[in-house]
Amino acid sequence: MKDIGIQVVRFPGGNAANDYFWDASELNQCPDGTPEIIYKSNFKKTTSPKLGTQGNYRTRPEDYYELLLRTKSTGSICVNYSFCLYSNEEDELERVNNAANYAAEWVKEVNIKRGLGIKFWEIGNENWGKWQAGYNVKERGIIDPKKYGEHCRIFIEKMKAVDPSIKIGVVGFQKPKTNDPVQKKWNELVIPEIIDHADFYILHDYYAKFGAKLSPSEMLAAVDTTYSHIKVVNQAIEKYTDKKAKYLPIALTEFNTRSNATISKNDGATNVSHSAGIFFAHCIGEIIRQGYGMAMIWDIENGYHDGKDHGMFSSKKENELDWLTPHPSYFHYYFYNQCFGDTYYETNSTKNSIRIHASSFSSGEIGLVVVNTSNKEEIVEIELKNTSLKKYAGVYEIYNENPLSRKTGINEVFSNKNAGGPENFKKIKANTLDLTNNKIKILSKPFSANYILTQ
């Protein structure tokens, strides 16, 4: 994780955030009003409170703090908002104050007592979703977006009273169209309540319809929905407040590709395929280009079922692989960290299937990512302008002739295992290109990414 330059690590989730009690090892150590059973999915599913210090949620807060210190990252802690909805306390204001005080206690624990300086905090997770704890509570009904916004103001006030330096985000909804009545009104009702109080607005994006089996081309084409989701927020800000677009920074605190294809049926690109890796080559650049303030892949390590796995590293369930073997996504993060600079430049391509993400380093080098989103080979020629004359460039090509494979190759070096990238990939030397008149010319293979750094 240090090698790929991770800056922010989110905890504890995800859906778990809204039924997680960070300082408890027994139910009687949870805040007053915590029920023994918490309902989800309109009472079709139940869960017990997740007790942080007991470790029944695998990763304890102590483990998380150590991870931040080892990776020299800051955190984005997602506090339990829904506790104020499903608490056994009858009075609404008492429930909200109790939940907000509990969140503020976590701020106090990590930033005042431990001095960890965790910068980012999120109030709940996907609270507009039926799968969330607290979405529908018996005798209280379905979540009210306006009240969520009102409650967020109380959370923000209490949390910032402990540490005024923290940045607090509020949950938003990203899709331009939906038939769900809660989601349809979410931004309209939430944003006016928090516009003068929140530090950022939160979106999640998995870039495909739930349950879809994606081909490699469909997986990569879905990246082009990025801007429309930012636009949804900015339009709501302008329509429902007196503020201008881009008033609130937008954080993508979960993103990944989502395909329901499986390895056994070979019916499309899975989430652990070479194609999924190429998705990140394009998506990371597009996230930067479109202006997200922060983005976090979901997630570090996940479950695994027949190719369905969002983890950057393999789980213990993945066949014939060592635990925490890097998936293809990891290698794209690594090369972005090595080859991408600190300033992004808009770069036009004469062919829609060839996407170029360009950057410069303050030290003068140019970093480029060239992504071929099609099944056709192309010759790509790039002319560098407004920069000093460059003599040569190093190139790392990530490619597999089978885009559905779990393997990904770097400069034609592959793993000896059944999935992932080369084991000693750091020792692979870059291919060298001599530049004439600041022009780069490469062969871009189907469903490939080339990482280019000039000297």
CB contact at 8 A, 371 and 353: no
- Cα–Cα distance list, 266 to 19, 260, 374 (Å): 37, 11, 19
Residue 289 to residue 357: CA distance in whole angstroms = 8
Here the tokens at position 365 are 């080098």
| CB atoms inside a 10 Å sphere around CB 371 | 28
Domain boundaries, the chain: 8-342, 345-454
Q: 128-155 burial by CB neighbour count: b if 16+ within 10 A, else e?
A: bbbebbbbbbeeeeebebebbbebbbbb
Q: What was the pLDDT predicted at 54?
A: 79
CB contact at 8 A, 294 and 287: no
Residue 381 to residue 393: CA distance in whole angstroms = 13
Q: What was the pLDDT predicted at 55?
A: 64
Angle at 22 between CA 17 and CA 198, to 5 degrees: 55
What's the CATH code, domain 345-454? 2.60.40.1180
Q: What was the pLDDT predicted at 338?
A: 95
Q: Which of 376, 311, 367, 304 is nearest to 339 (CA)?
A: 367
- Helix/strand/coil percent split, the chain, to 5: 30, 25, 45
Residue 55 to residue 62: CA distance in whole angstroms = 10
Q: What was the pLDDT predicted at 226?
A: 84
CB-based burial label for 399 (10 Å; 0-12, 13-18, 19+): buried
Q: What was the pLDDT predicted at 285?
A: 95
Q: What was the pLDDT predicted at 135?
A: 97
Q: What was the pLDDT predicted at 61?
A: 95
Q: Which of 254, 266, 368, 268 is nearest to 312 (CA)?
A: 254
Angle at 219 between CA 214 and CA 224, to 5 degrees: 140
Helix (H) or strand (E) holding 310: none
Residue 181 to residue 397: CA distance in whole angstroms = 46
Same fold, 8-342 and 345-454: no
Facing residues of 359 across strands?
Answer: 344, 367
Residue 18 to residue 79: CA distance in whole angstroms = 7
DSSP three-state, residue 301: strand
CB contact at 8 A, 415 and 336: no
What CATH fold (topology level) applies to the domain 8-342? TIM Barrel (3.20.20)
Question: Do the bridges between strand 200-205 and strand 448-454 make them parallel or antiparallel, or are there none, so unpaired?
Answer: unpaired
Q: Which of 421, 259, 249 is nearest to 335 (CA)?
A: 421
CB contact at 8 A, 53 and 25: yes
Contacts with 383 (C-beta within 8 Å, 6 or more apart), sequence order: 438, 439, 440
CB contact at 8 A, 80 and 20: yes
- Cα–Cα distance list, 425 to 3, 287, 330, 411, 429 (Å): 12, 26, 11, 10, 9
CB contact at 8 A, 77 and 119: no
- Cα–Cα distance list, 397 to 406, 428, 438, 451 (Å): 17, 11, 20, 6
DSSP state of 261: -
Helix (H) or strand (E) holding 201: strand 200-205
pLDDT tens digit sequence for 365-393:
999 999 999 999 999 999 999 898 899 99
Question: Do the bridges between strand 366-372 and strand 431-434 make them parallel or antiparallel, or are there none, so unpaired?
Answer: unpaired
Residues of the chain with pLDDT under 50: none
Contacts with 233 (C-beta within 8 Å, 6 or more apart), sequence order: 172, 174, 187, 191, 201, 203, 248, 250
